[in-house]
Structure 1
Amino acid sequence: MKLYTKTGDSGQTSLIGGRVRKDDARVEAYGTIDELNCFVSLAAAEAAKHGELAEMAALLIEIGQELFDCGSDLAYAVEGAPLKISGEPAVRLENWIDKYSAEAPEITKFILPGGSSVSAQLHVCRTVCRRAERRVVTLAAEHPINQEVLKYLNRLSDFFFAAARAANAKLGVPDIEYVRSAEVFRKAKK
């Protein structure tokens, strides 16, 4: 199988159900999800280097599978296509967010991305995820989409924040506080 087809040389690409320009909102949305998936794979590879983050690395690989499903759901230009993402993955993300939030110290101030390399990469995932979410919102304003994809991306960016903080905690690396931040988060009541 050849990797190049030459069918996109004119600036168009194929979707399931038709051809569109390569800068079409649908292509922008699933293309940004594809970009996010590459960063997730990078974070998973970095996490896998640390035994204490093996579970997180496995979760990131699972997220990669789900991101592929999200992109697939958005690649349909016809209604009634079989969808892959349901509400269950977003609920599972909420459980993982709660778990990782409990593993990190209380936060009272804004933090900068970073600390450890794994945490920095997860923060990159968080910001690319937010961009993917914005692209999907744009697409949803123009065409019907699987709304579960939007919900999933919204939870996923929160997951990356919680996982980044948990990675730092597990590796014994403190978060980097934004030095000009006031105390903006209230301590949890016990």
Structure 2
Amino acid sequence: MVRLTRIYTRTGDDGTTGLVDGSRVSKADGRMAAIGDVDELNSAIGVAIAQLPAGPLRDELLTIQNDLFDCGADLATPGDDPQALRIVPAQVAQLERAIDTLNDDLAPLRSFILPGGSAAAAAIHLARAIARRAERALVAAAAGAAINPEALSYINRLSDFLFVAARHVNQSGEGDVLWVPGASR
């Protein structure tokens, strides 16, 4: 169990931050950029949750928020410590099942869609865009450090889940805003 008694430590005033193993890295390190993007993604999902009624989608998003904390811990733990908290294949598989469940009720796409519709769907679309950025940050971090490939798979699958979830929230796709190529020409 985590117990925080003091929020500030002053140890980061020099532009570094501590990893789980006690090592320190620059706050500009690629690993830290990925952790920051995952944190921002988690916050965006919280905004979306605040706009949803109680139900299965809200519950799934709450599970995802916990998974994203696991992902942050995974990214903050360098090395191959077998006791480290890591994203595991079962978490990726759960996202795939959730995607399939939501997608079963959606009308097929007739066009690309704009990120909008209802306020809740727009918030989910924003989270999806942040998930894509987090994925790019994980790929960049993996170029310089060992990153758990399951964490990358999880974030990749999460952007797919959020796309389908936004469509689900938009009355099973009926409220989607369709892209009209060249509409303002």
Same fold flag (TM > 0.5) = yes
Alignment of 1:113 onto 2:118: no
Aligned-pair distance for 1:117?
A: 0.7
- Residue ranges of structure 2 left out of the alignment (5+ in a row): none
Aligned-pair distance for 1:173?
A: 5.7
Q: Distance in 2 between matches of 1:117 and 1:156?
A: 20
Determine if contact 2:79/2:146 at 8 Å carries over to the other structure: no
Q: Distance in 2 between matches of 1:83 and 1:10?
A: 28
Task: Give the structure 2 partner of residue 12 of structure 1.
Answer: 16
Greater helix fraction, Structure 1 or Structure 2:
1
Task: Give the structure 1 partner of residue 34 of structure 2.
Answer: 29
| TM-score under structure 1 length normalisation | 0.87
Q: Please give the per-residue CA displacement for 1:72-91, whole angstroms capped at 9, x wherever unaligned.
A: 00001333252331101111
Determine if contact 1:103/1:169 at 8 Å carries over to the other structure: no
Determine if contact 2:41/2:131 at 8 Å carries over to the other structure: yes
Alignment of 1:174 onto 2:175: yes
Task: Give the structure 2 partner of residue 128 of structure 1.
Answer: 130
Q: Structure 1 vs Structure 2: percent identity of aligned residues?
A: 42
Alignment of 1:152 onto 2:154: yes
Secondary structure at 2:170 match in 1: helix
Q: Distance in 2 between matches of 1:165 and 1:26?
A: 32
Aligned-pair distance for 1:146?
A: 1.1
| TM-score under structure 2 length normalisation | 0.90
Q: Distance in 2 between matches of 1:93 and 1:145?
A: 20
Q: Distance in 1 between matches of 2:78 and 2:59?
A: 32
Q: Distance in 2 between matches of 1:55 and 1:97?
A: 13
- The RMSD of aligned alpha carbons is 1.5
Q: Distance in 1 between matches of 2:109 and 2:61?
A: 24
Secondary structure at 2:50 match in 1: helix
Task: Give the structure 2 partner of residue 86 of structure 1.
Answer: 88
Secondary structure at 1:47 match in 2: coil
- Residue ranges of structure 1 left out of the alignment (5+ in a row): 182-190
